Amino acid sequence: MKLLVVSDPHWAGPAELPRRGYEARAMPHRIQRILAAAWRKGFWLADPMAHNDKLDRILALNPDPDLVVANGDYSVDSAFVGISDDAACDSAHRCLNALRAAYGDRLLPVIGDHELGKHSLFGGVGGPRWESWLRLESRLSIPAWWQRDIGRHRLIAVPSTLVALPAFESELLPEEAPFWRAERQRVLSEIRAALTALEADRRIILFCHDPSALPFLAELPEVRDRLPQWESTIIGHLHSPAIARLATLLAGMPILRGLGSSVKRYSTALHRARAWKEFRVRLCPSPTGAQALKDGGWITAEWDPESPAPIPWQHHRLPW
Ligand SMILES: [Fe+2]
């Protein structure tokens, strides 16, 4: 079994490209714009719209995997409302088309936080939108969650934003909140039933875009009962292995209040990050990684599906 995992391609389609500078425009204060520009140019990613070539290169370098998992975040989400924005939906559609053209039904897509929307950094613009959730299946053919058996392993993908919904409550539109809560109950009950029915000798590989969802999963008795069967959890979202290492170091830090909803959400996630350990978390980086380190790429695993040996995950760096 040759498995390829790619994550966070953040494809910029023709309708999103003219929105360069979208993040600064969503910040009301000059000091916020200066801090965000320093963070973006000095470390994170100077121009998030300049990297469509990276996914093409990864696809060209991986012509024949048996299975491909795309671990979420297909558009730039330049309106901060996920794929309810037509321009972001078009970007995500083009990105998934490229993946499907290369791999057909070997592709298993996972839902990222930017498919649904979330508050802009500092600005507090946008958030998850119910229309984005509805469009996942109808426009992008991404199911709410999925599972697939490969030899001794069960691959399970969960929608991280929906699982971590209590952390996003302040970003929801009040009139949409009841729909989100009901959908969370529905999806979680399906996942719990699947775990209850799981054979005791099967190993679990979880795909969960945003690791903030893991402490919420750990609250479920069906998940706790199965932790001894956990092989790996493949996350995305953090883009850079350096950020993933930093997050592990900061696990348990205090929650920062009064600096906006994004800072509170990130610090809450880190406050609860000790739970990641039990899930055997491994990052699939974005194709770019961080601007300062250029530490992006993809991960693969090649194993005998009937072998009980641990999965030999391999990280591949994409130079740029
Ligand atoms: Fe991302």
- 199 alpha carbon – ligand 1 mean position (Å): 33
DSSP, res 216? H
Pair type for strands 297-302 and 153-158: unpaired
Examine the pLDDT at 309 and tell me if it is beyond 80: yes
Long-range residue pairs from 214-217, CB within 8 A, at least 24 positions apart, any chain? 214/275, 214/276, 214/279, 214/281, 215/272, 215/273, 215/275, 216/163, 216/164, 216/166, 216/167, 217/158, 217/163, 217/279
Name the CATH architecture for the domain at 2-309.
4-Layer Sandwich (3.60)
pLDDT of residue 273: 82
- 202 alpha carbon – ligand 1 mean position (Å): 30
Please write the tens of the pLDDT for every residue from 87-145.
999 999 999 999 999 999 999 999 999 999 998 877 678 999 999 999 999 999 999 99
- 50 alpha carbon – ligand 1 mean position (Å): 15
- 200 alpha carbon – ligand 1 mean position (Å): 34
User: What are the extents of the domains in the chain?
Assistant: 2-309
- 304 alpha carbon – ligand 1 mean position (Å): 31
- 130 alpha carbon – ligand 1 mean position (Å): 20
**For the whole model, what pTM was predicted?**
0.94
Q: Give the list of residues 6+ apart from residue 316 with CB closer than 8 angstroms, or none.
A: 61, 297, 298, 299, 300
- 111 alpha carbon – ligand 1 mean position (Å): 11
- 240 alpha carbon – ligand 1 mean position (Å): 10
Per the model's pLDDT, the better-predicted residue between 259 and 88 turns out to be 88
- 74 alpha carbon – ligand 1 mean position (Å): 8
Q: If pLDDT is split at 50, 70 and 90, which confidence band does 260 have? A: confident
